[in-house]
């Protein structure tokens, strides 16, 4: 039997940086570019993991009891392997017999030369692997349980990160997300059985679908320079002591009320409220960057935002900033040719992305 599962990439719409603190909200969307994971029974007692990410790699593994032994260990597979291990631990706990299989991974989240767009390829590959193996082993776990497995896999590899990217990729569509307590999850992981932890309520964690804005178009501009989320988050975290007139706590409060207002405006189809919240979030992130000495809004992102504003859109950096993408919400009726022409002259590439609509509800 062959199982094929795809998981979408994501974009942050609002709430970045604050969402790394337990319980703070963010809004994200899943986009219609995917990582696909295919599971098929291995032809012999050696399984293969192959990917076209990072210009293509292949890894061989074999089974020793419930362990997966690898030769040689490869870094780009760390998310895949973490996902495999956590799902197999769940399978064992559920009394399902382990198998040897081939995993084949294909990605649309990098451009042809292998450059990342900042669409969350680590999260998507983690989610696609978790979902593919949960399906392959027929574990019967719902989406929230699979999200928890993917989050556990991801915190095993990454020091920081709110998990919003994992939730967006797992749920699809537009989501409001609040972040779980990573320290709590790490501690619990050592102390209790996996399936017990998966069944528990996690402090801070929530995912709710939100209504996409109706009369607005989402534009995504890519600045062409990749950015390291973990480095940017580390920078902010180590310089958040504040200075005259600015505190990190004030930023967090501001972000929470801004994202809550944004979600309420989405719920009420209040276009002005939606645009105002995006602009307010840009100011908050700008302030955070200034006061922590972190370049969130690069000159190229500023150009992207200012051009969009001049054409009647509301715009901000997406995610950690420092490069990657900026997003714009603009009236569906607005003529955008002129805006796109300015972007093109500034070497800002429009990514032709749409919402990935979630398949099935659970």
Q: What is the binding site for ligand PMV (CB under 6 A)? A: 12, 16-17, 19-20, 118, 120, 161-162, 164-165, 229, 233, 319-320, 324
233 binds, among ligand PMV, Mg ion, none (CB under 5 to 8 A by kind): ligand PMV
Output the smallest distance, CB 14 to ligand PMV, in A: 10
Output the smallest distance, CB 246 to ligand PMV, in A: 18
Output the smallest distance, CB 258 to Mg ion, in A: 19
φ/ψ of 298, rounded to 5, equals -70, 165
Picking from 157, 158, 55, 189, the residue whose alpha carbon sits closest to that of residue 113 is 55
Cα-based torsion angle of the residue sequence 263, 269, 270, 272 in order, rounded to the nearest 10 degrees: 90
327 binds, among ligand PMV, Mg ion, none (CB under 5 to 8 A by kind): none
88 binds, among Mg ion, ligand PMV, none (CB under 5 to 8 A by kind): none
17 binds, among Mg ion, ligand PMV, none (CB under 5 to 8 A by kind): ligand PMV
Q: Of 19 and 220, which has the nearer Cβ to ligand PMV?
A: 19
* Contact letters for Mg ion, residues 298-337 (x by CB under 5 A): ---------------------xx---x-------------
Whole-number CA gyration radius for the chain: 21
In the chain, the N- to C-terminal Cα span, in Å, equals 24
Contact range with Mg ion by CB under 5 A, out of 135-143, 215-223, 224-232, 346-354: 224-232
Q: CA 72, CA 131: separation in Å to the nearest integer?
A: 25
Contact status, residue 150 vs residue 170, Cβ threshold 8 Å:
yes
353 binds, among ligand PMV, Mg ion, none (CB under 5 to 8 A by kind): none
Q: Of 130 and 320, which has the nearer Cβ to ligand PMV?
A: 320
Output the smallest distance, CB 232 to ligand PMV, in A: 6
Nearest residue to ligand PMV by CB is 319
3-state SS class at 337: helix
Picking from 158, 157, 156, 139, the residue whose alpha carbon sits closest to that of residue 87 is 139
Output the smallest distance, CB 288 to ligand PMV, in A: 10
* Contact letters for Mg ion, residues 114-143 (x by CB under 5 A): ----x-------------------------
Q: Of 134 and 327, which has the nearer Cβ to ligand PMV?
A: 327
Q: CA 116, CA 59: separation in Å to the nearest integer?
A: 22
DSSP 294-329: --SS-HHHHHHHHHHHHTT-EEEE-TT-SSSEEEEE
19 binds, among ligand PMV, Mg ion, none (CB under 5 to 8 A by kind): ligand PMV
Q: How far is CA 236 from its chain centroid?
A: 19
Note the residues at the interface with Mg ion (CB under 5 A). 118, 227, 319-320, 324
């Amino acid at each position: 039997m062959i199982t094929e599962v795809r998981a979408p990439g994501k974009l942050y719409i609002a709430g970045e940086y604050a969402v790394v603190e337990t319980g703070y909200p963010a809004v994200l969307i899943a986009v219609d570019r995917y990582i696909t994971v295919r599971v098929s029974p291995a032809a012999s007692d050696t399984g293969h993991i192959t990917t076209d990410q990072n210009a293509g790699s292949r890894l061989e593994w074999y089974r020793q009891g419930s362990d997966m032994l690898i030769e040689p260990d490869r870094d780009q597979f760390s998310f895949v392997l973490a996902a495999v291990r956590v799902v197999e631990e769940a399978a064992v706990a559920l009394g399902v017999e382990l198998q040897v299989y081939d995993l084949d991974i294909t990605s649309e989240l990098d451009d042809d030369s292998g450059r990342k767009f900042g669409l969350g390829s680590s999260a998507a590959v983690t989610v696609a692997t978790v979902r593919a193996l949960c399906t392959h082993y027929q574990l019967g776990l719902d989406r929230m349980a699979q999200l928890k497995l993917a989050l556990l896999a991801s915190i095993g590899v990454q020091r920081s990160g709110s998990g919003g990217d994992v939730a967006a990729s797992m749920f699809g569509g537009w989501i409001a997300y609040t972040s779980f307590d990573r320290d709590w999850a790490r501690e619990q992981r050592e102390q209790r059985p996996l399936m017990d932890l998966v069944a528990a309520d996690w402090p801070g964690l929530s995912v709710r679908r939100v209504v996409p804005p109706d009369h607005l178009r989402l534009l995504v501009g890519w600045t062409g320079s990749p950015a390291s989320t973990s480095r940017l988050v580390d920078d902010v975290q180590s310089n958040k002591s504040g200075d005259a007139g600015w505190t990190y706590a004030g930023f967090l409060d501001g972000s929470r009320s801004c994202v809550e207002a944004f979600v309420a405006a989405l719920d009420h189809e209040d276009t002005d409220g939606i645009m105002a919240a995006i602009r307010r979030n840009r100011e908050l992130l700008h302030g955070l960057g200034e006061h922590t000495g972190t370049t969130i809004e690069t000159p190229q992102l500023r150009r992207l935002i200012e051009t969009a504003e001049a054409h009647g859109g509301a715009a901000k950096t997406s995610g950690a900033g420092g490069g990657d993408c900026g997003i714009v919400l603009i009236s569906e009726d607005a003529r955008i040719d002129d805006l796109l022409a300015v972007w093109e002259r500034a070497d800002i590439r429009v990514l032709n992305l749409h919402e990935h609509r979630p398949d099935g509800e659970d």
